[in-house]
Chain A
Amino acid sequence: MASKKPEQFDRVDWSELSESSRFDLSINSIGMLAATLPLALLWLYDYQFVGERGATFQAIGLGRNLDPLDYFFVFTLFLFFFYLVLPLYQNPRMTRYYWAEFRRNRPAVVSLGWLGVVFVGGLLGPLVISAPEQSILTGHQPPMFLSINEANVATCVGDVVNGQCQGTWQHPLGTTRGGKDVFAGVVYGMTISMQIAFITTTIVAAIGITFGTVSAYAGGWVDEIMMRFVDVILSFPTFLMFLLILYIYGAGLGMFILVFSAFAWGGTARYVRSKSLSVSEEEFIKATRISGASTYRVVRKHVVPNVASSIITQLTLLIPGFLLAEAQLAFLGIGDSAVPSWGQLLSAGRSDLAFAPWIVLSPGIVLFLTILAFNFIGDALLDALNPEAEAESA
């Protein structure tokens, strides 16, 4: 134990100091590569050797098929792990500091817990709970502890007391008109929401950061044009455009993610640009430059890490917008009805609201809590990363 302490206290990362090539790889990147490679191979196998309609894992007897969206989702999870979670572990001191700041905001801690539930539920739920299956004869079953007029159900799974059909543990949150279990629907909706959250933020961050830094460093008329382009992107009526595309060409969840993230990076780009401009004015950057660092190296080693925390905050606040947009589209009945999202559940229960409100209430409340949680966390991150504001208001 004792021998470790000085190492931590005065650790010098020699590899970082001695590296001169831009092709140096941190442990994170190595991990990332090591994880992505099998994924790419699996995709290749799926693409090349398994028929278009065959399930990916049919060779080993698993029925679960992976579509491109799933691959991308797993990829973003790797990114998230190696560039967000792992660095936090590698820098325990900073992590402890952030956590101490973050913990002071109780709603945010609760929110983090809730998002953890959604995340784990979304990842593992589908493995444990079977997908909601239609069973038209057991539609409109009430949730546990509630009841419904017998006239409104075809058959009642639970007991009938005084002409009221009672809920059962078989369907803890009741069923939809088609007899799909609402609880299972909510759990499967978590997967979809997590996919939307991770994939869109990855795309937005990738485009936004690239665009912003390039613009800041190119300067001059290139910068001007790029920022005017951002103006256009920002004033684009995305929702409307998506409706247009949907109606003319048809669109599924993949198209939704693509279109919405393609028009959401404007703010990030603007932000990154102004941040990089101000960071590049700092003394330490000038020092780095004088010592011969390339622009790429300055951006990667100094600018991005310095703006990373603010970007993460900003992205956290973007996610609820995407979740909401998906739910809205589904509610209008023009989402991808094959995708078991919360919005689809909401829309399925809309006309039954008067006598079977649970179909709308369960996913609605879950969606509301998730959006709320993202907002609380975004707020807490703002506070945690901005000690000045904290000191003032404390």
Chain B
Amino acid sequence: MGFGKYVGARVLWAVVVSLIITTITFLLLAAAPNPAIREAATQAALQGGDPSAAVERERELRGLNQPLYVRYADFIRSVYTLDWGWSESRSQPVTEALLQALYYTAQYSIPWTVLTITVGPLVGVYSAANMYSWRDHVATGFAFFGYAIPNFFFGIILLLIFGVWFEVVPISYDTSVPVFSVQNVRQLILPVFVLVTGSIGATMRVSRNESAEFQNSEFMKTAKAKGVSPLRSYAYHVMRPTLVPLSTTLVGQLLALFIGSSLLVEVVFGIPGLGRLTFNALLSQDTNLVLGSTLVFTFIAVVGNLLEDLVFTVLDPRINYDDR
């Protein structure tokens, strides 16, 4: 199997996986009672009408009287045509709501991701180069601390210290400040810091352990003997092979954090991003919006896994496409 073919198969598989997950979400929601129908019945009863007739009318209006497979086909079609419906809890189209939320999520997750994938491996390699020195211990200790402290707990504590006691950062998130402004940096610095400390630990540990193996290897000794500068030799001979195993854990780790923690961090810091959007949609039983945000999260997870695999194969030429 050639590389192109492998990528093709992998992409196809990603589509299948997202389809499966969406289907499960659809079935879960289809099995749940629809609040809108209930409301129609209550309304009818209050006005002295016939609730069961009202329920029928509402079901017909929402296409719920059709058999499940027809609704499913409709649903899949609207998923791919981006016709995701109207969000009842926000009075705007679902896609618009998702885009707005994504705008806020991106503002903290882009710096977070960039910092994690640059700082993590660098500190890891540095730590390995200075193994068992006090610098290594500080770095490792920090990694463990960040990894183990629950993000939301850490966020609360930092907010208490810097927001309430020292008043150096605002305690509420202001959506009206421009993206590239000092205020925005000030209000985002804590969430980004909390998320980075949470994710950096894993990448740092992996890169430290991996690079520890490589820096004692024969090719490093050769490089040293040849008089290659330490910087160059680390960059070429330690960093690169380290990135291979790292890439496999990195994306998964980031995604897990993204889906789990982004909600908590957004709740703690009051950022109206994707996590909170989903959570609020669930609370208010806004079916369309719940489906929409599940789709987005699934999409991100599947694409992330896909990228992980592809990067893996690109970075490590030894990998056989047949074996996964």
A adjacent to B, CB under 8 Å: yes
Chain A residues proximal to chain B, CB less than 8 Å: 227-228, 231-232, 234-237, 239-241, 243-245, 247-249, 320-321, 324-325, 327-328, 331-332, 346, 350, 353-354, 357, 360-361, 364, 367-368, 371-372, 375-376, 379, 389, 392-393
| Docked CA distance A121–B131 (Å) | 37
Q: Is the CB of B282 within 8 A of A375?
A: no
Cβ of A237 and Cβ of B298 under 8 Å apart? Answer: yes
CB-CB under 8 A from B31, the residues of chain A are: 248
Write 14 A-B pairs (CB below 8 A) sorted by A numbering: A227-B324, A235-B301, A239-B260, A244-B29, A245-B28, A248-B32, A249-B32, A331-B264, A332-B264, A353-B156, A360-B156, A364-B157, A368-B149, A392-B212
> How many CB-defined contacts (below 8 Å) exist between A and B?
108
The reply to whether B156 and A350 form a contact with Cβ atoms under 8 Å apart is yes
CB distance from A44 to the nearest CB of B (A): 33
Contact across chains for B131 and A235 when beta carbons are under 8 A apart: no
Q: How far is the CB of A319 from chain B (nearest CB, A)?
A: 12
CA distance A9 to B137 in the complex (A): 42
B294 A237 Cβ-Cβ under 8 A? yes
Partner of B21, one of A237, A245, A320, A357: A237
Q: Is the CB of B144 within 8 A of A244?
A: no
**A173 to B25, alpha carbons, bound, how many Å?**
44
Interface flag for B160 (CB, 8 Å):
yes
Measured between alpha carbons, how far is A236 from B25 in the docked complex, in Å? 11
Name the residue of chain B whose CB is nearest to the CB of A324. B150
**B170 CB, min distance to chain A CBs, angstroms:** 15
A240 touches B157 (CB 8 A): no
Q: How far is the CA of A354 from the CA of B28 in the complex (A)?
A: 40
Q: Return the CB mask of B159-171 against A: 1 if under 8 Å, else 0.
A: 0100010000000
B32 — nearest CB in chain A belongs to which residue?
A: A248
Give the size of the chain B interface in residues (CB under 8 angstroms): 47
> Which B138-178 residues have a C-beta within 8 angstroms of A?
144-145, 147-150, 152-153, 156-157, 160, 164
Q: Which residues of B contact A239 (CB under 8 A)?
A: 259-260, 263
7 smallest A-B Cβ distances: which pairs?
A: A372-B148, A248-B32, A371-B148, A364-B153, A368-B149, A239-B260, A235-B301
- A332 and B148 within 8 A (CB): no
Cβ A228 vs Cβ B13 within 8 A: yes
Check B156–A235 contact: CB distance below 8 A.
Answer: no
Chain B residues, Cβ within 8 Å of A367? 150, 153
B302 at the interface (CB under 8 A from A): yes
Q: Compute how far the CA of A239 lies from the CA of B151 in the bound complex, rounded to whole angstroms.
A: 15
Complex Cα–Cα for A6 and B135 (A): 50
Distance (Å) between the CB of A322 and the closest chain B CB? 12
